């Protein structure tokens, strides 16, 4: 007798581990482990979500038409080439499923987001890592790692968990150096936090050809991770492929309604951006003043480095302040912690926790 056996590669997958959300016996936890947005969702998005309760029996619009129109207006994009998904995770998965399989390679940077290798393995493809330099995507190293079998290159800009970014000119150099049949996926989950003018989320590269996709999410600056809402901007041929393979009602009515309302609430968006612009440098300076190294971040989190073996002590000191952060050993960074920018009060608790850690270590 034998039990059903999953397809080759599935049992090599290490299931994704999200940021911790609970500390035993502590009520007011500062959950700074998943970059969820310090100020939560727009009040208008919450109201739109609640209004959907009256129509729970209705299937959603399978084409997410109003949401795609709102995205097109807000970001100046062609709505016909926007595809919405249950989080950008779903779109990353569908792109991998559609363009890579057994015998193919999916290439990504050394500290790239954990879902890229997971989806590669889900589809029987081989994940391949290219080295980074100073925790930053290295375009030459990615290009050097391309083989005849490479089908997709994924990278996030800014990157998670490092927080670093590469300028638009480097992204273009990457695209220009890749064979035209290789799909380049620019994961711009944190793009709304970047204010530098040498940066681009990547839409112009999508428009320039048939082989580049930009993924975006409502889980970070829009603070709607619970709803699972992401989107991508793609060439017409790739949008067509995604619309064939996705589930017919992959985005809930609540997510669509809240997404439209969130896009319209530009005042709340501006508040979230201004909050991050103020508190990210504040946290960076305070943590550096404690003698800890912080990787310069362009997102809504910091990667903080500790002396070898000290991470458990730092986590314990933060837990004393009821602060939960993200260990990143799984990314090959055993001596670092990723800390989301929180509310003022949460950020002060981070500094208090790290100060206590430093005093304990001294
Ligand atoms: C959070 C995150 C995502 C996933 O976003 P969802 O839309 O919530 O699925 C994708 N890529 C990166 C780099 C992220 O950090």
Residue 217 maps to a domain: yes
Choose among 116, 209, 113, 127: nearest CA to 158.
113
**What letter would DSSP give residue 192?**
G
Q: Which ligand 1 atom is nearest residue 230's CA? A: 7
Tokens of 105: 């390679």
Which residues have a Cβ under 8 Å from the Cβ of 247 and sit 6 or more positions away?
Answer: none
Tokens of 324: 């939960």
Residue 2 maps to a domain: no
Which residues have a Cβ under 8 Å from the Cβ of 284 and sit 6 or more positions away?
Answer: 294, 296, 297, 302
Write down which residue in 248, 265, 282 finishes a domain.
265
* Residue 164: how many other CB atoms lie within 10 Å: 24
Q: What residue's CA is closest to ligand 1, atom 6?
A: 87
How far, in Å, are 3, 51, 263 from residue 259 at the CA level? 43, 13, 6
Q: What residue's CA is closest to ligand 1, atom 15?
A: 160
Q: Alpha-carbon distance 188 to 200, whole Å?
A: 9
Residues in the chain with pLDDT < 50? none
Query: Is the same domain home to 239 and 106?
Result: yes
Count the domains in the chain: 2
Which residues have a Cβ under 8 Å from the Cβ of 330 and sit 6 or more positions away?
Answer: 14, 17, 114
Tokens of 9: 């590669």
Query: Is the same domain home to 243 and 94?
Result: yes
CATH number at 115 reads 3.40.640.10
Residue 247 maps to a domain: yes
Write down which residue in 227, 249, 265 finishes a domain.
265
Name the phi and psi angles at 356, rounded to 5. Answer: -65, -40
Query: Is the same domain home to 172 and 228?
Result: yes
Question: Can you list the pairs that 265-274 forms with residues at least 24 positions away whose Cβ atoms lie under 8 Å?
Answer: 265/42, 265/43, 265/44, 265/45, 268/39, 268/42, 268/43, 268/44, 269/42, 269/192, 269/221, 269/222, 271/39, 272/37, 272/38, 272/39, 272/221, 272/222, 272/223, 273/192, 273/193, 273/195, 273/221
* Residue 182: how many other CB atoms lie within 10 Å: 18
Query: What is the reported pTM?
Result: 0.96
Q: Alpha-carbon distance 107 to 99, whole Å?
A: 13
DSSP 87-123: HHHHHHHHHHHHH--TT-EEEEETT--THHHHHHHHT
Q: Which ligand 1 atom is nearest residue 34's CA? A: 1
| Predicted local distance difference test score (pLDDT) of residue 362 | 60
Residue 3 maps to a domain: no
Q: What residue's CA is closest to ligand 1, atom 2?
A: 189
DSSP 68-84: HHHHHHHHT--GGGEEE
Cα–ligand 1 centroid distance for 320 (angstroms): 29
Query: Is the same domain home to 87 and 17?
Result: no
Q: Which ligand 1 atom is nearest residue 89's CA? A: 9
Query: Is the same domain home to 233 and 277?
Result: no
Query: Is the same domain home to 255 and 271?
Result: no
Three-class DSSP category at 36 = coil
Name the phi and psi angles at 147, rounded to 5. Answer: -125, 180
Cα–ligand 1 centroid distance for 323 (angstroms): 22
User: How many CA atoms lie less than 13 Å away from 264 in the CB half-sphere?
Assistant: 17
Pocket of ligand 1 (CB under 6 A): 87-89, 113, 156, 160, 187, 189, 217, 219, 225, 230
Residue 328 maps to a domain: yes
Three-class DSSP category at 202 = coil
Query: Is the same domain home to 201 and 318?
Result: no
* Residue 156: how many other CB atoms lie within 10 Å: 28
**Parent domain of 124:** 43-265
| Predicted local distance difference test score (pLDDT) of residue 20 | 76
Cα–ligand 1 centroid distance for 228 (angstroms): 10
Cα–ligand 1 centroid distance for 355 (angstroms): 31
H-helix or E-strand spanning residue 155? strand 150-156
Tokens of 195: 């204010």
């Amino acid at each position: 007798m034998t039990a059903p056996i999953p397809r080759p590669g599935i049992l090599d997958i290490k299931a994704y581990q999200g940021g911790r959300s609970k500390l035993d016996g502590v009520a007011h936890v500062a959950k700074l482990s998943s970059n969820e947005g310090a100020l939560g969702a727009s009040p208008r998005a919450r109201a739109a979500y609640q209004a959907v309760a009256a129509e729970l029996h209705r299937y959603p619009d399978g084409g997410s038409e109003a949401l795609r129109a709102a995205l097109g207006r807000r970001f100046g994009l062609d709505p016909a080439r926007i595809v919405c998904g249950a989080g950008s995770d779903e779109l990353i998965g569908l792109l991998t499923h559609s363009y890579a399989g057994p015998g193919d390679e999916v290439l990504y940077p050394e500290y790239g987001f954990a879902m890229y290798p997971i989806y590669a393995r889900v589809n029987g493809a081989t994940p391949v890592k290219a080295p980074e330099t100073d925790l930053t995507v290295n375009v030459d190293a990615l290009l050097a790692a391309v083989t005849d079998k490479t089908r997709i290159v994924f990278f996030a800009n800014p990157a998670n968990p490092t927080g670093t970014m590469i300028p638009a000119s480097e992204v273009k150099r990457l695209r220009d150096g890749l064979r035209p049949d290789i799909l380049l996926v620019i994961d711009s989950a944190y793009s709304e936090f970047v204010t530098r003018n040498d940066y681009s989320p990547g839409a112009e590269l999508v428009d320039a050809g048939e082989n580049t996709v930009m993924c975006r999410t409502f889980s970070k600056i829009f603070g709607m991770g619970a709803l699972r809402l992401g989107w991508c901007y793609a060439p017409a041929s790739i949008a067509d492929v995604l619309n064939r393979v996705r589930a017919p009602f992959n985005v809930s009515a609540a997510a669509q309604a809240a997404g439209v309302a969130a896009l319209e609430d530009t005042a709340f968006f501006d508040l979230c951006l201004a909050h991050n612009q103020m508190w990210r440098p504040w946290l960076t300076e305070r943590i550096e003043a404690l003698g800890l190294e912080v990787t310069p971040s362009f997102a809504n989190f910091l990667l903080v480095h500790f002396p070898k073996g000290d991470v458990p002590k730092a986590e314990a000191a933060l837990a004393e302040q009821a602060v939960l952060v993200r260990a990143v050993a799984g990314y090959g960074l055993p001596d670092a912690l990723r800390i989301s920018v929180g509310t003022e009060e949460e950020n002060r608790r981070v500094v208090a926790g790290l100060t206590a850690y430093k005093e304990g270590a001294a």
